Amino acid sequence: MAHERTSDSIWLEQADTPDSSPPPSSTTVAVIGAGIAGVSTALHLASAGVDVTVLEAGDIAGRASGRNDGQLLLGLGEHYNRIHSQFGAERAPLLWDFLQRNHDAMLAELRSANIDCDLRQAGGLRLAETEHEQHELRQAAALLRAEDRDHELLEADDVAAQLPLARGFHGGLRLADEAIVQPASMVRGLALLAQSRGATIATSCEVRAVQGEAGAFSIALADGRRVEAQVVVHCSAALGRDLDRTGLLGRTVFAYRGQIVATDDLPAELASQFPDCAMSSNFCYEYFRMHRRRFVLGGMRWSVPGEEVHVVDDGSHHPQISENLIAYARRHFPALADVPFPHVWTGVMAGSPDGLPLCGALPGQTGEFALLAFNGYGLSFAFLAGKCLSEMIIDGESAHEALPMFTPRRFVGQRT
């Protein structure tokens, strides 16, 4: 099926764009990319008094960070039993703690800086698409209970009570500490904050090449200008993998495209029957939420050949995915049967072989760092990871116990 042109996300249409500055001829730290990863890194470096410049090819939050579903999730998309199986009983809790601390730190900053981004802290609902998924949610709940983590296991009747419009879910799990935001407003608000603390953010500045070495990098921009920097940080997701001269990012990071559809404002009475929380089913492959009176739904990339892996064009969408998303909405929410979904957009995510991000020094290249490949969960990681990375750049180390799981070095010698 042909890919059709699409528009910006509803978030980017609504969010004000902070002013851009021209790139300086030299800076201490150059960050490539102004998504949530680059903005967070710059915010924390600037807060510590470091001279930092973000070089962004397009607009702040113009790519995945302004095109996602705005869900601040705990435990990645996976149910916790699967996180335990994949990472083991020692590392799974470290991962969860990292995500929880990311939320706490990010929400504290949003509140103290008064960033208006439609933050709703009504928790999250993982819904079971099948009886098998409900069985796994029970296993996840048992592990969460054993680790004394806030959760509530829901049977089908409980879901019917909490989500009266829903049909066909076999149960669910409520996580009280999940939240939703308007993601473009959030990242642009954090960018404004970074600027107010001294960071320079230069948009429409595509980086073509990084040359030189630690202490004397020379960054070539597409328009012929150059920026000299002592340190370079790659926050360009899967879109700038070739800029890393070690080749590690090119070998390990891959792109895949997600797609979202949205309604216009629903009638007030209908809208009020949906909770204001993060929701998902089918192991988080489908995810949905309200934004004010709009129903916003993403996922279904598994339903088309190739699953949109290696697709990097976020100016088009896959019509079959939209059809499948709308069929999902109408199957689970018959009250939406006659509601049109006039908005559709896509965004490009970055993945890694083990499903965890890369945060730290690039091996074999002193002075070059990376923060990227959040595997579809950047809002859950990137704020705290940006803080940790800024500590690594300034102090040579950062303390969180989960950080060894994110070191780029783990992929050295691996063929992918």
Ligand X SMILES: Cc1cc2nc3c(=O)[nH]c(=O)nc-3n(C[C@H](O)[C@H](O)[C@H](O)COP(=O)(O)OP(=O)(O)OC[C@H]3O[C@@H](n4cnc5c(N)ncnc54)[C@H](O)[C@@H]3O)c2cc1C
Q: With binding defined as CB under 6 A, does residue 377 bind ligand X?
A: yes
Contact 335, 272 (CB under 8 A): no
Report the candidate in 358, 357, 353, 350 with the shortest Cα–Cα distance to residue 314: 350
- Toward ligand X, which CB reaches closer, 199 or 349? 349
Q: With binding defined as CB under 6 A, does residue 185 bind ligand X?
A: no
Contact 330, 323 (CB under 8 A): no
Partnered with residue 403 across adjacent β-strands are none
What letter would DSSP give residue 302?
A: G
Question: In this structure, is the dihedral angle defined by the CA atoms of residues 360, 363, 368 and 372, taken in order, positive or negative?
Answer: negative
- Toward ligand X, which CB reaches closer, 217 or 335? 217
CA 325 from chain center: how many Å?
Answer: 20
Give me the 285-324 binding string for ligand X, x by CB under 6 A, dash otherwise: --x----------x--------------------------
Cα distance between residue 27 and residue 284, in whole Å: 41
Pairing between β-strand 368-372 and β-strand 226-234 as defined by DSSP bridges: parallel
Find the binder of ligand X among 206, 276, 323, 354 (CB under 6 A). 206
Instruction: Return the number of other C-beta atoms located less than 10 Å from residue 122's C-beta.
Output: 16
Find the binder of ligand X among 10, 12, 15, 34 (CB under 6 A). 34
Contact 393, 369 (CB under 8 A): yes
Q: With binding defined as CB under 6 A, does residue 182 bind ligand X?
A: no
Q: With binding defined as CB under 6 A, does residue 12 bind ligand X?
A: no
Find the binder of ligand X among 43, 52, 57, 229 (CB under 6 A). 57
Q: With binding defined as CB under 6 A, does residue 102 bind ligand X?
A: no
- Toward ligand X, which CB reaches closer, 76 or 335? 76
Residue 81 has which token pair? Answer: 């039993």
Task: Give the nearest distance from C-beta 269 to ligand X in angstroms.
Answer: 27
Q: With binding defined as CB under 6 A, does residue 190 bind ligand X?
A: no
Find the binder of ligand X among 236, 263, 352, 365 (CB under 6 A). 236
Task: Give the nearest distance from C-beta 289 to ligand X in angstroms.
Answer: 8
Partnered with residue 304 across adjacent β-strands are none
Pairing between β-strand 200-202 and β-strand 52-55 as defined by DSSP bridges: parallel
Q: With binding defined as CB under 6 A, does residue 45 bind ligand X?
A: no
Cα distance between residue 346 and residue 68, in whole Å: 8
Q: With binding defined as CB under 6 A, does residue 68 bind ligand X?
A: yes
- Toward ligand X, which CB reaches closer, 274 or 287? 287
Give the footprint of ligand X on this chain (CB under 6 A).
32-38, 55-58, 62-65, 67-71, 73, 206-207, 235-237, 239-240, 243, 258, 260, 287, 298, 347, 349, 372, 374, 376-380, 382
